Structure 1
């Protein structure tokens, strides 16, 4: 059982109501519907509920991803109340995909961000498909591209923005972003 001094020390490290924090996703399980974030400033772990992610436009986040959020102190500890941004894990080495191996990052960045909706995605198989609005052809989405984009899973119907390239076997996502991320980018950079 924690001592009173330890509880007071932990509570002194807790952010005030509505505090803005940055940190790293310790783990997130979309099946359980929650995970935890470790704040850069230290202190107890921050509960990240799937509903907070959904309000941001995502249903999952990759372990090790950087995240900016607002948190508040509750009777049960610190909980995220909104997400400001999610950044892919730094230095994450992912398996190269033959379709994008050696592809110039400038080529990917030059591709337009296109609005899309997830058709289906099977994390255990490592891939799925999405539909870009106004286009008939399905776009292949690989789990490694998700990881590079800071995501770990997708749900049918989830809104995304993707940079799509012509791969060796057809259209494929080279970058996947949460729709709300795109809105933030668009308002800041005039996209």
Structure 2
């Protein structure tokens, strides 16, 4: 693929790491070769502010004098279950088909502390906070959330109140519902 001045190539790979604070990360291409630089702006154009380590991605890339760089994110798949201990109250969208019937609710991130492994969001027009666990975030394909960030949550009742079972970028949910 080309735009007249640049040659673009579609590739798939796995996120090696992504640091939202630094504004970039790297993807290891499936076909081998050098790591692909993934800049935060390219990820934001896809509607996400972060991506989980180990997530699978389809990208359009170009070669630059500084190496291979992503120019567009085409698809992101959350990382596979790593076999670690499961969150006791976690509802997995892949193993619990009833979760697909739970509608996404628009919310804003109140705060999220990656080092503590959790945070909270406010669902629009609801007084109570919604708990977000880092494992739910990771299984949703995200690595971090920023205060004020617009998200869509599938919320379930947990032992201690409302908790997110799935997190998505709000504009991604809107695009899916419009299709």
Superposed pair shares fold, TM > 0.5: yes
2:21 is the counterpart of 1:31: yes
Residue among 38, 41, 54 paired with 1:64: 54
| Distance (whole Å) between structure 2 residues aligned to residue 59 and residue 106 of structure 1 | 27
88-97 or 143-152: bigger deviation: 88-97
2:130 is the counterpart of 1:139: yes
Aligned residues: 173
5+ residue gaps, structure 2, are 1-5
Pairs within 5 Å for 1:75-114: 75-100=65-90, 105-114=96-105
Residue among 110, 115, 121 paired with 2:106: 115
SS at match of 1:145: helix
CA offsets, 1:40-69, max 9 Å, x none?
A: 222221100112112222221111100122
Question: Shift of the alpha carbon at 1:159?
Answer: 1.6
Q: Structure 2-normalised TM-score?
A: 0.86
| Distance (whole Å) between structure 1 residues aligned to residue 90 and residue 81 of structure 2 | 18
CA contact (8 A) 1:58 1:158 kept: no
More helix by share: 1
5+ residue gaps, structure 1, are 1-15
Q: Structure 1-normalised TM-score?
A: 0.81
SS at match of 2:80: coil
